[in-house]
Amino acid sequence: MNAPALPSTHIPFYQPVADECAVFEQAWRQQLPILIKGPTGCGKTRFVSHMAAVLGLPLFTVSCHDDLSAADLVGRHLIADGDTRWCDGPLTRAVRSGGICYLDEVVEARKDTTVVLHPLTDDRRILPIERTGEELQAPPGFMLVVSYNPGYQHVLKTLKPSTRQRFVALSFDFPAPAVELAVIQQESGLDAPRAQQLVTLAGQLRRLGGYDLDEAVSTRLLVYCGKLMMSGMSPLTACRVALVEPLSDDPDTLAALQQVVLTQFGA
């Protein structure tokens, strides 16, 4: 769990694709929670960071995992120097102070976490804390944002309809080639011709059928590759370590992916 990112004059770069920025801002103004769906590395987390900075709000980010419980979000009693004291979790801190609480890959968390989210995602906007007897009313500046990757999750790891229908939802995907080109250039500093080669390569890899790939190559990995190329690394090596190896462990699949790389950077 990350410490809250405080508002600053620095706004993380984000290239809008459609009307997602306007939808997010209006949802915040209307005190509505947002669910963001999309593949890994398509810009979900960057988008939330960007909007938090645009709106001047603290950002409390929680990277969800299998062992994340409701207590991790709300808080627990801790023993220090022989005394027992209550320690707020990130969700409680966000509700107390206002700001965005972002639960990344929320379906990875334990099922008991949805119990504490439900009262915050309807007109009550409250957070009951059973262990302290408190019932916190979320201030107008509080917003709950959750995300997950619906294409990757197993059927047992998904949001129930009763939970999904408590959120305004945005679907993200990998950006259009022109947008992805702008992102790679902005984030890596790579020149336009080589950035265009990476965009073309990404399209070829994403259309590659017949191989057991859990996920397609992400925009994030393209940026990593661009940064390595900018550092002086050869394109073939940069593509191998940033685009090919992260996608699979199967030798035959890796060889096939490397052959696709050669179509762009083999000369």
Q: What domain count does the chain have?
A: 2
Q: Is the residue at 8 inside a domain?
A: no
Last residue of a domain, one of 146, 171, 196: 171
The reported pLDDT for the residue numbered 261 is: 95
Return the exposure string of 135-159: e unless at least 16 CB atoms fall within 10 Å of the residue's CB, then b.
Answer: ebebeebbbbbbbbbeeeeeeeeeb
128 and 188 fall within a common domain: no
148 and 73 fall within a common domain: yes
The reported pLDDT for the residue numbered 135 is: 93
156 and 190 fall within a common domain: no
pTM: 0.85
The reported pLDDT for the residue numbered 40 is: 87
Here the CATH number for the domain that contains residue 94 is 3.40.50.300
107 and 225 fall within a common domain: no
State which residues form the domain around 77: 20-171
159 and 184 fall within a common domain: no
Name beta bridge partners: 80: 83
69 and 132 fall within a common domain: yes
167 and 181 fall within a common domain: no
Q: Is the residue at 13 inside a domain?
A: no
Q: Is the residue at 118 inside a domain?
A: yes
Question: Per-block average pLDDT, block size 10, for the chain (267 residues)?
Answer: 55 92 97 94 94 96 92 89 87 95 93 90 93 92 93 64 92 93 95 96 84 82 97 96 93 91 86
Q: Is the residue at 245 inside a domain?
A: yes
133 and 195 fall within a common domain: no
The reported pLDDT for the residue numbered 209 is: 59
The reported pLDDT for the residue numbered 208 is: 80
Q: Is the residue at 5 inside a domain?
A: no
Contacts of 148 (CB under 8 A, 6+ apart): 35, 37, 105, 106, 107, 108, 158, 159
The reported pLDDT for the residue numbered 152 is: 61
The reported pLDDT for the residue numbered 3 is: 52
The reported pLDDT for the residue numbered 156 is: 53
The reported pLDDT for the residue numbered 200 is: 96
